[in-house]
Structure 1
Amino acid sequence: MIQLRQKSSLFGALLLGVALFGTGCKDKEEAKPSGTGKTGETTSTASRGNTVTGDTIKIGEYGSLTGDNSTFGISTHRGIQLAIEETNAAGGINGKKLELISEDDNSKAEQAKTVVQKLVSNEKVIAVIGEVASSRSIMAAPVCQDAKVPMVSPSSTNPKVTAIGDYIFRVCFTDDFQAVVAAQFAWDQGYKNVAVFTDVKSDYSKAFGELFAKRFKTLGGKVAAEPTYQSGDVDFKAQLATIKGATPDAVLIPGYYTEVGTIARQAREVGVTVPLFGGDGWESDQLIPGAGTALEGCFFTNHFFSHDMTEPHITSFIAAFQKVNPGKQPGALDALGYDAAKVIIEALKRAKSLDSVALRDAIAETKDYQGVAGKITLDANRNARKEAVLFKIVGKEFKIFKSYRPEQVGL
C-alpha cells in the first residue's frame, strides 16, 4: 500500500478538498530534516547516486499543491498517485512497494529548490517527479543533476529544463514545438497580424512568446505589438489599450490561467474583440470561472489528451481515475503526471540495479511507451517527441479543434 508522506501542514486538507479544485513563480524556506523510517532505507554514494537497500522504493514529487498555481500541482499529483497505487496493487517492483514522498513548493521557484534538496539528500529518493512550471523546474533541476538522481518533469515545456543535464527528462513536448504549432495554427486561421502579450516573470511565457514570434514571422506574419505583464498583476488595461491600437487579427497570451482569465475579461472591457489564444498554461478548470464568457470561441495548444477520446488505454485510465476521484474528469495535467510516474516505473523494471544512476540509463532508453497523453519516445536531449492539439473553448468545455504532429510543422 502506498505511504504518502505529508510534508506540508496544508497538504492533508488539500487532498480532502481536492474535489473543489477540478483538473487542471521566490521565497526560500529552511529545510528541516525529517525521519525516513526503517522500511525504505536508501543510501547515497558519489558514483551511484541514491541506492535502494530496504523493502520500499522511494520516489519524490514536488509541485504547487498550494499557492498561485495550485490546480497545476493538485491535478499532477492525482495522476502520479494513481500510477503508484496501481503498481503497488499489482505487487510493486521486484517485490518492493513504491513509496511516494510529496513536497509542496507553494508555487515558488526558490521553495522548489529547497524541497528537492530535502527529497534528494534527506529522503534519499531514487527519482524525482516535477515540476509543471518551467521556472520552478529550472531552479530545482540542478539539485537532481548534481546528485545523480533522475528528474522527470510531467509538463515543463521550456527548452532550458532538460538542457540542464543528462539526468533531467520530460514526458511532454517543448515550447519550441508548442510555439511553432501555435504560429502555424494562427497562420492557418488567417491571422496575419498578431499581438503577443507575455509574462516577463515566467520563463515559460517568455520562451513561448519569443519562439512564436520567430516562426510566425518566417511564415509571413507580422507581430503587431509585444506588451508585457508580470504574474500577480491585476490591472492589464494599459497594455490592452496598446494592443487595441495595434489592430491585430488575434492576440497570443502565453501565460498561466491565473492571469489569463482576468486579461480576457479586461480585453473585452476595453474593446479588444479579436480571438485570444495561448498554450498549455491555460489548462485548468479555474480558467473559465476567471474569464466568464470572455474566452468563448478562443483557442489554446495543449497536450494530446481529452476525456472525450475513446482509445481503450485512455478510457481505462479515465475509469481508474474516476474510481478514486468520483465525479471528476481528468485533464491533461492528471494524464501527464500519470505518464511521468509510469515512465519511471517501467524503467525501474528494466534497470540493471536499483540505484539512481542505473535508473537514469533505463529512463533514457524509453521508446514507444504508450502513455495516456500520447506515445513517448525520449530523444537524445531527453525530450518527448509528441503530437499537440488545439482546444476550442465552448461554454465551459475544452473541445478538440485540430492537432499537429511535429512533421506537419517542419520539425
Structure 2
Amino acid sequence: MKIIKIKLIDSVNDKFHVTLTLIDTKDTNFHSIDGFLPCLPSQLEKSFTEWKEAYYELEDVRKVATRLSPKSVINHSSAEQKEQVKITLNQWLDSGDSSWQPIRDELISVLSSLQSSGEEIRLFLDIQNPNLRRIPWQEWSLFESRFPQTEIAIRVKGRGRFQGVHKFSKVRIILIVGKSDGINTELDLEVIQKLKEKGAEVKCLNQPTREILSNALREEPGYHILVFAGHSCSKEDGSIGWIDLNEEDRLSIEEFKNSLKYAIDKGLQLAIFNSCDGLGLANQLANLGLSRIIVMREPVPDMVAVKFLEYFFTEFANNKSLFESLQIAKGRLEHFEKPYPGAMWLPTLCIQETALSHSLRWEQFIHPNIWEKFKLLLKLANMGCLQITVAGILLGLLVINVVKNQFISTPDISSPPEISQNISQGEKLLISSKTTLAKEMGIQEFDSEKFARAIAQFRQSLQENKNDPETLIYLNNAIAQQKSNSNIGEKIEIAVSVPIGQESDIAQEILRGVAQAQSEFNCGLNKISLAITNIQNSLNCSGSLNGKFLKVTIADDEYLPKTAEKIAQALVENEKIIAVIGHSSSDMTLQAGDIYNEAKLVAISPTSTSISLKNFGKFVFRVAPSDDLAAQTLWNYLNQQNWAEQKIAVAYIPGNNYSESLAKEFEKLLPANFVHKCDISVGNFSASDCVESAKNQGAEIMFLIPATDRTLGNAIGIINNAKGLKLLGGDSAYNPRVLKDAGKQGEQANFTLAIPWHRYPNSEFAQTAKKFWNAEVSWRTATSYDATKTIIKAMDKMMGNYSRKQLQSILSSRDFYVKGVTGKIRFGKSGDRQFLDKDKSVLVQVKPSTKSGKYEFVILER
C-alpha cells in the first residue's frame, strides 16, 4: 500500500511551502519533493464564502444548523457558487507557477503509477490553515476526472502511538442519539441496527444523561465504533466542537474526555459524527488518542446524513477498507447535488499520521479464528473443484471447529479467552502477510489434528515461500505432535513471544532464529531443506536427545505492555511450557518479567538491552549485550576518531525503556557534550526541524535511537536531512529500510551503529542461514538462534528431568556455557549474560557493496 502525503505550511512571500511525500507502507520507503504553492486567491475565497452563504440559506440546512446568522437576502444560488468554487480552485491548482509545477507533475506521475497497478489511492492532507481544510480539494480536475478513485483525508494531531485493534466475537458499536429537533434520528438507528445481520453487537443510547453516557463508554469489553446522530457544531477555526447530548446538555469532548480515553484504550478505532460541522470534534478526539474520525465539515441535511451512513456501512460491513468505503459512499450522494449543491463535499475523514499505514476493515474487529476459517472455506468453494458432499463435510467441520475454538480451550494452550487469539502452535494464522493457500489449509488440518496432512501442506507452502518462519515452526510442531501421538517421540515445549501486531518484520527475524534451531533439533537442517525442495520425498525425523522433539508456541504481544502481561500469564499457566524466548523489546520484557519471576518460568530475551533489566530477577535472562556495553563501544569509536570532544544531539523516545536507556548510558560517558534532544515519537515530528535545532546548538554528531516502525521512519528522515552531521545509531536502526531509503546519505554521514552481532564473511552460521532462508539474516536472528540453542544445551544437561526449576538452576550455574553464534554465552546468578571483551557489541557502517553497488551494513574491524 502506498500513501500520498501533501503538507502545506504558511510561508513567506505569500506562498505555501509544500512537501509531497510518497510513503510505501510495505517497506516504509519515503520519497519527498518540495515546492511552493501560490497564496489562496481572493477569488477562490470569495466564491467559497458565497457558496457557503447560499448553502446555509437552504431550508433543510437551516433546520439542522446550530450556528447560523439571521436569514438574509442573497444574490446568488448555491449551485452557481459551487461551480464557481470548482472553477477558481482549478485555476489555482493548475497554475503554471514554476515552484508548484514540479509538485503537480510528480503527483500526476505517482497517481498514474498507483492507478495502473490497481492499488488503492489514499491522499493525506497535512494542513493547519482552517480555510484550506474546508476547501473541497476533491473537485480539482486532477482527482475528479483523471484519478476519481482518490480518497482524501485530513490530518489531525493526536497523542500517543497507534493502538492495535481489539478483536471480539462480534463487531461492537455504540450509537449515541442526541437532541434531534428537526431531524429523524430513527432512520440512523435503523441503519445501525441492520448491522446486527453482519455480526455486530449494538448498544443504543437515546438522549442519555452525562452519567449514563460516561458509564456506557466504560463498559467491558469495549467498543470498536462510536456513532453519534443529532446536533453538533464547531468553532470557525475547527479547534473545538460540541454535541447536543439531550434537551439540556451541550457538551464539548473535553467534558467527557476521561470516559472517551477509557473507550479508546479499550479498543475504540473509529468515531462517526453523522451531525453538523464536526471538524472541532475530530480535533479534540484526536488529542485524546483516537486515530480515525469521520465528520461532516458543514451542516448536513437530514436525508444526506442518513443515506451517507447507509452507503458507508453497506461497503464497510462487506469488508471494504475504510478509505474505499468512504469514497464509494460519497460518490453515491451525487443525487443530492441538485437540491443540496456541495453535499458530496461534506463527509470528511480525519486521521492521525500514526494510523496511515494501518488499513481498517470490518474483519479486523472479529475474532480471527472465525474469520480465517470462513475465508478458507470461501477459497475452497471458489476453487470450483470440490464435490458438494466434500464441501458439506468441510462446512460441518468448520462449524464444529468454530464452536470448539470459541468455547473450548485447545488441549495444549491454556490462556484467557481474550488473549488466546494471539497464541498459536499451528492452529491459527498470526502472520498474514504473504500467506499461501497451502499454509491456510495446513493450519486447518493442524487444528483438526490431522498432522500428516498438515505436514504435507506446510511443506508445500514453504516451497512457495521458504522465507516464512511461522510456517516452518508450524511444520516442526506438526512433526513433534505426530511423533508424540504415535508414541515414538517425546515433546518438549517452549514458547516465543514476538511483536507481530506492530513489528511484523522484526517478529519474523526473531522467529527465523528459533525456527532454524528447532529444525536442527527435530530433523536436521539438510533434511528439512530437502523435504521442502522436493515435497515428494519422505520426511522421517528422529529428533535429538534420544527421540525428543521441540514444539514451539508462538505468541504475539503486539508491542503492547498490557498484551505482553496477558501473554506471560497465559504461558505461565500452560504447565507444559518450560521456557519462553522473549520478549523482543525491553518495555515488553520488563512488563512480563515480573510474572515470569513470580511463577518461576525461565524467559530468555534475545533482543532486550535496557539497563533496567540488569539484576531484574533470577528467571529472566538475556542474550544481547546491555545498553551500557553498546554505549561504551560507541564511545570507544569516538575516541579512536578523535571526535570525543564534539557536541552531540540525540533523537530518541522519552519513556521508552530501550531508547531512553541507551541515550542515558551514552550521555553518562559524555555528559558535557549533549546539547540537544529530539523526541521522534511525537505526532507532528519534523526531521528537518530536529536537525536544524541540533545544528543551532552546535551539534556535530547526532545519535539516533528509534524503537518502533514509525520512529524508525522519523530517524530515516533525520538521516536524509543530516547534511554536515556525523551519525551514530543503536541496534534498532539496523534495518534494511535505512539502506534502501537513506543509504547514500547514511554513507556520507559515516552512520555507525553498535549491534550485538554481524555476519563475518567466514561465519559458518551466516552462510548456512543464508543458504537455508535464501536471504541474509540479521543480528536478531542470530541472538534468537543462540537463545534457543542455550535452552537446548540446558535440556541436554537435565537428563530427562524437564522442569522449569531445573532449567533455571542449570542456566545460572557457574560451569554452564554455550558456544553461541554471538560468542560464549554464560549467565550470572541474576540472569545477566557475562561478556568477554571480544563478545561485546560490534560496530557496522553504511557502505556501498563492492559487488552490487547497493548499500549495506559493513562491519568495522577492531
**TM-score normalized by the length of structure 2:** 0.40
Q: Which residue of 1 aligns with 2:779?
A: 332
Residues 168-317 of structure 1 aligned to structure 2 (within 5 Å): 168-191=620-643, 192=645, 193-217=647-671, 222-230=673-681, 234-256=685-707, 258=709, 259-266=711-718, 268-269=720-721, 272-296=723-747, 297-306=750-759, 308-310=760-762, 314-315=763-764, 317=765
- Say if 1:7 and 1:397 are closer, same or farther in 2 by CA, change over 3 A: farther
Q: Deviations over 1:136-185 (max 9, x none)?
A: 11111112111111000101001222533100101111111111222222
Q: Which residue of 2 aligns with 1:394?
A: 847
Q: Deviations over 1:51-85 (max 9, x none)?
A: xxx93111010002231x32221101001111011
- Say if 1:231 and 1:62 are closer, same or farther in 2 by CA, change over 3 A: farther
Is contact 1:265-1:292 (8 Å) kept? no
User: What amino acid is the match of 1:398?
Assistant: F
Is contact 1:336-1:373 (8 Å) kept? yes
Q: Deviations over 1:309-354 (max 9, x none)?
A: 31xxx31x2343234312x011111111100000000001112521
1:11 aligned onto 2:465: no
Aligned counterpart for 2:828 among listed residues 379, 383, 386: 379
Structure with more relative contact order (C-alpha pairs < 8 Å, separation 6 or more): 1
Aligned counterpart for 1:61 among listed residues 490, 496, 511: 496
Q: Which residue of 2 aligns with 1:30?
A: none
> Could you say what the CA RMSD is over the residues aligned between the two structures, in angstroms?
2.9
Q: CA deviation at 1:118?
A: 1.8
Identical aligned residues as a percent: 23
- Say if 1:97 and 1:112 are closer, same or farther in 2 by CA, change over 3 A: same
Aligned counterpart for 1:150 among listed residues 592, 602, 619: 602
Is contact 1:154-1:170 (8 Å) kept? yes
Query: What secondary structure sits across from 2:691 in the alignment?
Result: helix
Q: CA deviation at 1:15?
A: 6.7
- Say if 1:232 and 1:134 are closer, same or farther in 2 by CA, change over 3 A: farther
Q: CA deviation at 1:123?
A: 6.2
How far apart, CA to CA, are the structure 2 residues paired with 1:84 and 1:234? 42
Q: Which residue of 1 aligns with 2:516?
A: 82
Q: Which runs of 5+ in 2 are unaligned?
A: 1-423, 437-464, 470-480, 525-542, 849-854
User: What amino acid is the match of 1:58?
Assistant: E
Is contact 1:59-1:100 (8 Å) kept? yes
How far apart, CA to CA, are the structure 2 residues paired with 1:73 and 1:363? 25
Richer in helix (by share): 2
- Say if 1:303 and 1:15 are closer, same or farther in 2 by CA, change over 3 A: farther
How far apart, CA to CA, are the structure 1 residues paired with 2:716 and 2:657? 21
How far apart, CA to CA, are the structure 2 residues paired with 1:147 and 1:323? 40
How far apart, CA to CA, are the structure 2 residues paired with 1:137 and 1:92? 30
Q: Which residue of 1 aligns with 2:807?
A: 359
How far apart, CA to CA, are the structure 2 residues paired with 1:367 and 1:390? 28
Q: Which residue of 2 aligns with 1:344?
A: 791
Is contact 1:56-1:96 (8 Å) kept? yes
Is contact 1:64-1:70 (8 Å) kept? yes
How far apart, CA to CA, are the structure 1 residues paired with 2:778 and 2:594? 29
Q: CA deviation at 1:210?
A: 0.6
- Say if 1:194 and 1:234 are closer, same or farther in 2 by CA, change over 3 A: closer
Is contact 1:392-1:399 (8 Å) kept? yes
How far apart, CA to CA, are the structure 2 residues paired with 1:201 and 1:18? 38
How far apart, CA to CA, are the structure 2 residues paired with 1:367 and 1:232? 47
Q: CA deviation at 1:131?
A: 1.8
How far apart, CA to CA, are the structure 1 residues paired with 2:686 and 2:467? 30
Query: What secondary structure sits across from 1:392 in the alignment?
Result: strand
Q: Which residue of 2 aligns with 1:121?
A: 573
- Say if 1:394 and 1:13 are closer, same or farther in 2 by CA, change over 3 A: same
User: What amino acid is the match of 1:392?
Assistant: Q
Query: What secondary structure sits across from 2:670 in the alignment?
Result: helix
Q: CA deviation at 1:356?
A: 0.3
Query: What secondary structure sits across from 1:247 in the alignment?
Result: coil
Q: Deviations over 1:259-295 (max 9, x none)?
A: 24433434543x6421111111112222223435332
1:165 aligned onto 2:617: yes
Q: Which residue of 2 aligns with 1:26?
A: none
1:73 aligned onto 2:507: yes
How far apart, CA to CA, are the structure 2 residues paired with 1:40 and 1:150? 24
- Say if 1:120 and 1:355 are closer, same or farther in 2 by CA, change over 3 A: same
How far apart, CA to CA, are the structure 1 residues paired with 2:556 and 2:790? 22
How far apart, CA to CA, are the structure 2 residues paired with 1:309 and 1:232? 41
How far apart, CA to CA, are the structure 2 residues paired with 1:285 and 1:105? 23
Is contact 2:629-2:840 (8 Å) kept? no
If you compute each CA radius of gyration, which structure gives the higher value, 1 or 2? 2
How far apart, CA to CA, are the structure 2 residues paired with 1:14 and 1:339? 27
Q: CA deviation at 1:106?
A: 2.0
Query: What secondary structure sits across from 1:391 in the alignment?
Result: strand
- Say if 1:383 and 1:364 are closer, same or farther in 2 by CA, change over 3 A: same
Q: Which residue of 2 aligns with 1:322?
A: 770
**TM-score normalized by the length of structure 1:** 0.80
Q: Which runs of 5+ in 1 are unaligned?
A: 22-36, 42-53, 404-411
Is contact 1:134-1:158 (8 Å) kept? yes
- Say if 1:286 and 1:264 are closer, same or farther in 2 by CA, change over 3 A: closer
Is contact 2:680-2:715 (8 Å) kept? no
- Say if 1:168 and 1:20 are closer, same or farther in 2 by CA, change over 3 A: closer
How far apart, CA to CA, are the structure 2 residues paired with 1:231 and 1:288? 24
Q: CA deviation at 1:382?
A: 2.0
User: What amino acid is the match of 1:81?
Assistant: A
- Say if 1:80 and 1:356 are closer, same or farther in 2 by CA, change over 3 A: same
How far apart, CA to CA, are the structure 1 residues paired with 2:665 and 2:612? 13
**Count of aligned positions:** 363
- Say if 1:120 and 1:257 are closer, same or farther in 2 by CA, change over 3 A: closer
- Say if 1:291 and 1:237 are closer, same or farther in 2 by CA, change over 3 A: same
How far apart, CA to CA, are the structure 1 residues paired with 2:498 and 2:434? 13
How far apart, CA to CA, are the structure 2 residues paired with 1:103 and 1:142? 18
Q: Deviations over 1:26-46 (max 9, x none)?
A: xxxxxxxxxxx89879xxxxx
User: What amino acid is the match of 1:300?
Assistant: L
Query: What secondary structure sits across from 2:577 in the alignment?
Result: coil
Q: CA deviation at 1:233?
A: 6.2
